[in-house]
Amino acid sequence: GAVVSQHPSRVICKSGTSVKIECRSLDFQATTMFWYRQFPKQSLMLMATSNEGSKATYEQGVEKDKFLINHASLTLSTLTVTSAHPEDSSFYICSAPLGETQYFGPGTRLLVL
Amino acid sequence: GNSVTQMEGPVTLSEEAFLTINCTYTATGYPSLFWYVQYPGEGLQLLLKATKADDKGSNKGFEATYRKETTSFHLEKGSVQVSDSAVYFCALSGNSGGSNYKLTFGKGTLLTVNP
């Protein structure tokens, strides 16, 4: 099956710093990728749709200046959490579609101290 | 809008027991339906899918049938194993064949299988 990777798998940072998370489709191209946030014991919340060659589309209530998304190529999307605060601590997961199926990355655990 | 309602957990079973996790949906058009599984500390893995009415998705002993008349996609397994312990998510995607691949997820059901 299709493989999607994320890097890093885990990151700890100080409050006020920025953190970049990469999402890569390893064996297929994706003009669209999705970024989700998952709180403990809860479902996934779609944050934004990353579009190659154009601006990302953000879901209602998600701050676009806080969560910067760049879809640099057909296999790479990055999510930058700017000026991170403890409330941004969460599990961030990306996905990329191949046909009608979404393939998910393994997730990135962010802890902001 | 689209929505997915799945059985709330947690569900605790003994090894070799029969498993059913109910899932119903509301959607316009003809969505595709999915079950994803999330093992502790990991991302989601596609377990099975069905893209049209009466299709049956199956994988690793799990099955689910796309029932348009009851708008359901219940997950079943005849004999669970300890290794099946995970969170299971029912999901649907946008209009089949379109460019909208957004997934709508249920809240997830935690399954624990004891030896």
Q: What percent of chain B has pLDDT over 70?
A: 95
**Can you tell me the mean pLDDT for B61-86?**
97
Q: What is the pLDDT averaged over residues B65-76?
A: 96
A39-48, A103-112, B1-10 — which is least confidently predicted?
Answer: A39-48
DSSP state of A81: E
Judged against a pLDDT cut of 90, whether residue A88 lies above it is answered with: yes
Is B86 exposed, middle or buried (CB count within 10 Å of its CB: 0-12, 13-18, 19+)? buried
- Residues of B in Cβ contact (< 8 Å) with A109: 41
| CA nearest neighbour of A44 among A113, A111, A107 | A107
Q: Quick one: average pLDDT of B12-37?
A: 94
- CA–CA dist B1, A111 (Å, integer): 33
At residue B29, does pLDDT exceed 50?
Answer: yes
CB contact under 8 A, A93 and B101: no
CB contact under 8 A, A43 and B107: yes
The amino acid at residue A78 is: T
Give yes or no for residue B95 having a pLDDT over 70. no
N- to C-terminal Cα distance for chain A? 37
In whole angstroms, give the CA distance from residue A95 to residue A30.
Answer: 10
Tell me the mean pLDDT in the region B61-68: 97
Kindly provide the b/e burial profile for residues B6-18, where b requires at least 16 CB atoms within 10 angstroms of the residue's own CB.
bbebebebeeeee
B46 touches chain A (CB under 8 A): yes
A100, A108, A97: which is closest to A34 by C-alpha? A97
d(CA B101, CA B14): 37
Please give the average per-residue pLDDT across A46-67, as a whole number.
93
Q: Tens of pLDDT along A51-61?
A: 998 899 999 99
Chain B: residue whose CA lies nearest to A105: B43
Residue B77 phi, psi (nearest 5): -145, 135
Q: Is the pLDDT of residue A82 over 90?
A: yes
Other beta carbons within 10 Å of B32: 25
C-alpha dist (Å) from residue A29 to A24, A74, A77, B99: 9, 5, 11, 15
Contact between residue B44 and residue A93 where contact means Cβ atoms under 8 Å apart: yes
Q: Which positions in chain A touch B86 (Cβ < 8 Å)?
A: none
Q: Which residue in chain B is spatially nearest to A90 when comparing CA positions?
A: B41
